[in-house]
Homo-oligomer: A and B are copies of this chain.
Amino acid sequence: MAGLIGLDWGTSSLRAYRLDADGAVAEVRARPWGIRQLPEGGFDAALAEVTAGWPALPRLACGMVGSRNGWHEVPYLDLPADAETLGRALHAFDAGDGSVLHLVPGLRNPRGPDVMRGEETQLFGALARDPSLAAHATFVLPGTHSKWASVRDGAVVDFSTAMTGELFALLRQHSILGAGTGEAVPDPEAFARGVIAARDSGAAGGMSRLFSARALMLDGALAPSAVPDYLSGLLLGEELRAQLASGRFRIDAPIQLIGDAALCARYRAAAVHFDLSFAEPLVDIVAGGLWQLAVTAGLVADPLVVAPKEARSC
């Protein structure tokens, strides 16, 4: 029986995909077992449960499971990296019961330095989904640690992390800016106002405008319930301003969003104020990325190749 078991194993969740011999997703299981909130029995038990009843197929996991605080640390692979180099660098380890689990290494950008772990698989999933992006594209993956990545000739050649999502959560929950704002009410106008404040912040940068969220509220110029959307706009706007100002991510090539639909919609709304157009997000591409890397590594046979490569140990 051919196919693959793919695992997207992050900090707060675990998704398991059973892929058939053609790389199509036959079944998905989601569990709240991120590496920080494992069930009793830890990693072993989580893996056994989430794949219970599935056939004995090669297993490949990406994400924080391969980090220092994960199951088994896999060193980062330095840029530039295409699917070939990443596929050759898969890391196999004994998952405890004598069976092997393969892990995708994260990527390291010597510039910064910067690191990603999990997003690289999404990037190769995106390239597998839409090969036209491989020649030259900028990718934006919004999230807790938002990533901007530059792909050239099929290889990730640069990326940069903005801690937008984490900063927003911290400021909203723990800072003076979140105090007295009560229940947040969606307010597209306040969001746009925040985006524009960051865009027009000049050389000082948008973070220098952070306290305006408080001052505008005290002024009565911003409803308390609109402060979260203003702050969200300010932080997203600052992410866009800074990444564009860095000159590292070309905008004459397609800019492709990857990620959660609601969050990506906010980025598209923010991009308009920079006269940019972000393409509709690609979703559910991790399984395709895992499949792509498994094929490249020879873990599974490429259905498009008439004579399948022999599976090899990595």
A: residues with CB less than 8 A from B are 68-69, 76, 108, 112-115, 145, 160-163, 166, 170-171, 174-176, 179-180, 202-212, 214-216, 218-219, 221, 238, 242-243, 245-247
| 10 contacting pairs across A/B (C-beta < 8 A) | A108-B219, A113-B215, A114-B211, A115-B215, A162-B208, A202-B246, A203-B247, A204-B205, A207-B207, A208-B243
* Closest beta carbon of chain B to A146's beta carbon, Å: 10
Q: Which of B76, B145, B179, B246 contacts A176 (CB 8 A)?
A: B145
Chain B residues whose CB sits within 8 angstroms of the CB of A208 once the complex forms:
160, 162, 242-243, 246
Contact B203 A245 (CB under 8 A): yes
Q: Which residue of B lies closest to A247 (CB)?
A: B203
* Closest beta carbon of chain B to A74's beta carbon, Å: 12
Q: A145-B176, A170-B171 are in contact. List 13 more A-B contacts (CB 8 A).
A: A113-B212, A113-B219, A113-B221, A114-B215, A162-B211, A163-B175, A163-B211, A166-B175, A170-B170, A202-B245, A204-B242, A205-B206, A205-B207
CA separation between A112 and B160, bound complex, in Å? Answer: 29
